[in-house]
Amino acid sequence: MNKTAIFIYEEGQVPFLKNMLSVFSEAEKKDSIVIALGLNVEYALKAQNILFDSGRGLRTVSHEESLDYAEKIGREILDDPTFSFLSYRDVNLVDVFVPVFQLYVIYMLYALDVMTTLAQKYPEYKNLVVLPPSQFVFETGGILAELENTGMTDAARLVGEKVGFTIIAPKAERRSASLLKRIDTAWFYFQRRLFGWFLFVLNTLIALFVPQKKIRVLASEYWKNISSLIGTLPEVEIVLLDRAESRKAGLRSISQHRMQFIHVENYLSRAQYKVASQQVDSFLKQWRKVEENNVPLTQAQFRGHALKPLLLVALQRLVTVGGVRAVRAIDGTYAAYKRVRPDIVMVRAGASGQIHFAILCYVARALKIPSIELQHGLLPLGQNSFFKRRAAEYAATYGSLTSKEFEERAGYKQEKLFSIGSPRFDVYKTMREKDATRPVQGKPFTFGCIVPAILPHSWSDSYEVVEYLQSLASAAARVPNSLCILKLRPDPDNEVFYRRVIAEAFGKVPYRIAQYESLVDVIAESDVVVTIYSTTVLEGLISGRPTVFNGTLAMHAAFGEDLRHYIPDEILHVVHTQEELTRSFELLARDPGHRKELVGKADRFMEQNFSFDGKASQKMADVVRKLAKKQEM
């Protein structure tokens, strides 16, 4: 009898595994091994008393290397002349699809890396059971979301063909599970339709009873990013594509700014819906050129595996499913612009895995409507960057330094860039004014620590997150009367896991978890900001807090190198080892003179190179007025 390895990589797969093992004979159990990838999965298995081998060492290729290679593969394959047919109504769909494809490639490289190492580590196990994904993908999910959902199984099959594994991929579609899925899907679409009707009524009432304003902005943005800006523009009305933001805006803001909430596909006729399928049929007539003549696709390799079989499936789905979605989005955007007649289009991201951002901008260009992106992060813009292809015509940047980067690396002309700062960061000016009255007597020395998200294929896996937390706890333990405030993302999915590993890592070291509090409140309470995200580095610096970039993990260290394009080391602490982190904590806690020196250097540098003066909302308001006036001419 061949030995069997059972691979589990999602916590939600544990019940399926338990049922599977319950029908195994003693001989089958003896010849089987469970391999668990992810510390959250390992905890769940321990709770069920299921023995397993840890998959901690299965990922061998660094996050940075995978990101770079995924960028290269995606760019070269889609920029190949064989994809020259992929265009519709003045929109080059290659530029729209490149980030989507690259993000898929990142995940598949991770899955292939894991499966290849597994095959090398367990050569005596000739049968490999890959459990079915516990999540199902709605039709409204990402274009390649279904392929990402089954990515581990697809990677296992590719590896198995080469090394002689028999891959067993059991189906999860038991009758009860299938019924539950149908109920969940029906409930999702019922809620969606009900919410759509509510917004239809709201839009109608606003259109009837609130007078039109001078400038109309069509935006795809989070309300938190633009609320302070909109407050300085009484002459502006907003048409928002992010319909869920209506809950956050509130009725008062909705009525004040004549806000309406739309979906571009609602502007399509039945005939236009059919056009998308016809256009995709036209694309598919030229698909054979990709299969036969796309050299980068044929040459793509990773850890000894030819990637063409996997990537062809993804590319065909990109052309078919993605083609239908993109064509409908383009036609819907043209129709929406004709009906809404915006003076300006504003987007949250000029480059994204969500295709509507780029389409909004490209259609706006075709109709000579100004489109602008508000910068929301220090994204790398170099050759090996997903974010180099910016779709928006204009960009409102953090300041002169980032404007220079947009000009040199993303191809913007100087007249298309506005150095304004960030409306979202204006609050830190007020915070610093309040600092003078902040009580400090008896208060512990507080480190505001940003905790990384679990993104095993691209940033930090669960094992690395624990290492990161342990590094913070070890350093903080050396500082008497200290407190670590641990800022988590407001994501309930991993809340139980985070709380458990934090408690284990910190033990008796004082800490407090801040999950649903705002980052602004966390920084206001902190004496030092500790982070691994470039945006929060900026927030720490402009808030007047000494800032530590924690590069103790390899991927964070790599992003620290990117950060040097913008921020010199002398205005913050950049650490790479546990010893450096501990020394940084100790020095900052005991030496107020050093803290003051760091803040002073940071203030001078930020004033010279960025525009974080607390007036970004007013400056952006002037930009909106300027672009609207240009549109009228």
pLDDT band at 597 (very low <50, low <70, confident <90, very high): very high
What's the mean pLDDT in 52-76?
Answer: 92
**Burial level of 412, CB count in 10 A (0-12/13-18/19+)?**
buried
Q: How far apart are alpha carbons 492 and 473 in whole angstroms?
A: 23
What's the mean pLDDT in 347-369?
Answer: 91
Q: Is the pLDDT of residue 404 over 60?
A: yes
β 87-88/91-92 pair status: antiparallel
Q: How far apart are alpha carbons 233 and 624 in whole angstroms?
A: 9
Q: Tell me what percent of the residues of the chain surpass a pLDDT of 90.
A: 67
Q: How far apart are alpha carbons 490 and 514 in whole angstroms?
A: 9
Q: What are phi and psi of 591, to 5 degrees?
A: -120, 90
Q: Is the pLDDT of residue 129 over 80?
A: yes
**How many Cα atoms sit within 13 Å of 308 on the Cβ side?**
11
Q: How far apart are alpha carbons 304 and 601 in whole angstroms?
A: 49
What residues contact residue 555 under an 8 Å CB cut-off, 6+ apart?
Answer: 62, 63, 64, 459, 460, 464
Q: State the pTM of this model.
A: 0.91
What's the mean pLDDT in 382-400?
Answer: 80
What residues contact residue 615 under an 8 Å CB cut-off, 6+ apart?
Answer: 421, 426
Three-state SS sequence of 165-187: CEEECCCCCCHHHHHHHHHHHHH
What residues contact residue 357 under an 8 Å CB cut-off, 6+ apart?
Answer: 220, 347, 348, 349, 350, 351, 391
Q: How far apart are alpha carbons 150 and 158 in whole angstroms?
A: 13
What's the mean pLDDT in 342-346?
Answer: 96
**Burial level of 457, CB count in 10 A (0-12/13-18/19+)?**
buried
pLDDT band at 175 (very low <50, low <70, confident <90, very high): very low
Query: Among 157-166, 309-318, 440-449, 493-502, which stretch is predicted with the lowest mean pLDDT?
Result: 440-449
Q: How far apart are alpha carbons 548 and 531 in whole angstroms?
A: 6
Contact 235, 256 (CB under 8 A): no
What's the mean pLDDT in 537-559?
Answer: 88
Q: Domains, the chain, ranges and CATH?
A: 438-609 (3.40.50.2000)
Contact 452, 488 (CB under 8 A): no
SS3 24: coil
Contact 468, 552 (CB under 8 A): yes
For the residues of 558-592, what is the DSSP string, one character each? HHHHHHTTTS-GGGSEEE-SHHHHHHHHHHHHH-H
Tell me, what's the pLDDT at 441? 65
What residues contact residue 205 under an 8 Å CB cut-off, 6+ apart?
Answer: none
Question: Which residue type, as a one-letter code, is found at position 410?
Answer: A
What residues contact residue 4 under an 8 Å CB cut-off, 6+ apart?
Answer: 28, 31, 32, 33, 125, 127, 128, 129, 168
SS3 501: helix
* Neighbouring C-beta atoms of residue 278, cutoff 10 Å: 9
Tell me, what's the pLDDT at 493? 79
Tens-place pLDDT, residues 242-283: 888 888 888 888 898 899 999 898 898 888 888 988 999 999
3-state helix, strand, coil in the chain (%, to 5): 55, 15, 30
What's the mean pLDDT in 335-364?
Answer: 92
Q: Is the pLDDT of residue 567 over 90?
A: no
Q: Is 354 left (phi over 0), alpha (psi -120 to 50) or beta?
A: beta
Tens-place pLDDT, residues 43-58: 999 999 999 999 999 9
Three-state SS sequence of 277-317: HHHHHHHHCCHHHHHHHCHHHHHCEECCEECHHHHHHHHHH
Q: Which residues of 213-227 are buried (b: 16+ CB within 10 A; e: fewer)?
A: bebbbbbbbbbebbb
Q: How far apart are alpha carbons 333 and 313 in whole angstroms?
A: 28
Q: Is the pLDDT of residue 179 over 70?
A: no
Angle at 567 between CA 561 and CA 572, to 5 degrees: 95
What's the mean pLDDT in 538-543?
Answer: 95
> CA-CA distances (angstroms) from residue 177 to 10, 41, 462?
17, 21, 28
Q: Which residues of 376-400 are buried (b: 16+ CB within 10 A; e: fewer)?
A: eebbbbeeebbbbbbbbbbbbbbbe
Q: How far apart are alpha carbons 38 and 554 in whole angstroms?
A: 18
